[in-house]
């Protein structure tokens, strides 16, 4: 009978170990294991209060040195002039892009000549409309109305350019007007 009771005791102890209820020594519970060398399992005598706006996890991570305090961002100097807007308004109140123009080309112009023209003026070709002999070009940055007019005049002075138009903005909720021709 002693052998059976010793076997049952060993079996219960083994089952307890697998269930996490006992330590290998057979005393206490699994969560009462000795503290690790790194001090992470230590239970403080007093639990510090959480600073306002921080979670308990953030406080613990800071205590262990896993999180460094954020470095405040440097203040950027104020720009001297007002920021440029991507939309300009013409004399009639219609809005147009501050960095895009539509350039109409001579129908005999090939793609290479169009790309050379754009490069010469520091422009990027957004679309090349072969069927309409035109292209949409983008400036490297936003321009003022005066700068857009100067660029348009420089493009119109080119031999292969027949016209330069502003890239007007049309919205779905804009009112529809009937042209006078249809009157």
> For the chain, how big is the Rg over CA atoms in Å?
38
Q: What angle do CA 151, 157, 158 make, to 5 degrees?
A: 100
pLDDT at 12 over 80: no
Looking at the structure, tell me whether residues 30 and 94 fall in a common domain: no
| pLDDT (tens digit per residue) in 111-144 | 999 999 999 999 999 999 988 999 999 999 999 9
pLDDT tier for residue 10 given thresholds of 50, 70 and 90: low
How confident is the model over 79-112, as pLDDT tens digits?
A: 565 566 799 999 999 999 999 999 999 999 999 9
Domain count, the chain: 2
Residue 116 lies in a domain: yes
Burial of 102: CB neighbours in 10 Å, binned 0-12, 13-18, 19+? buried
How many angstroms separate the CA atoms of 99 and 140, rounded? 8
- What CATH number does residue 113 fall under? 3.30.70.80
Domain hosting residue 100, numbered range? 87-168
Whether residue 32 is found in the same domain as residue 95: no
* Same domain for 103 and 30: no
Look over the chain and give the mean of its residue pLDDT values, rounded to a whole number.
77
Confidence of residue 22 (pLDDT cuts 50, 70, 90): very low
Cross-strand bridge partners of residue 87? 97
Which among 144, 114, 139 has a CA at the least distance from the CA of 129?
Answer: 114
């Amino acid at each position: 009978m002693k052998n059976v009771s010793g076997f049952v005791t060993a079996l219960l102890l083994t089952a307890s170990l697998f269930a996490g209820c006992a330590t290998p020594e057979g005393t206490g519970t699994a969560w009462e294991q000795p503290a690790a060398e790194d001090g992470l399992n230590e239970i403080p005598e007093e639990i510090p209060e959480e600073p306002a706006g921080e979670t308990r996890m953030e406080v613990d991570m800071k205590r262990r040195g896993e999180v460094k305090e954020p470095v405040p961002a440097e203040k950027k100097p104020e720009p001297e002039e007002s920021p440029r807007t991507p939309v300009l308004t013409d004399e009639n109140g219609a809005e147009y892009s501050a960095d895009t123009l539509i350039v109409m080309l001579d129908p005999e112009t090939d793609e290479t000549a169009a790309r050379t023209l754009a490069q010469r003026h520091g422009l990027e070709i957004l679309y090349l409309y072969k069927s309409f002999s035109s292209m949409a070009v983008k400036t490297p940055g936003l321009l003022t109305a005066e700068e857009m007019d100067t660029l348009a005049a420089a493009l119109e002075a080119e031999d292969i350019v027949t016209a330069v138009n502003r890239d007007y903005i049309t919205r779905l909720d804009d009112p529809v007007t009937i042209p006078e021709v249809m009157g």
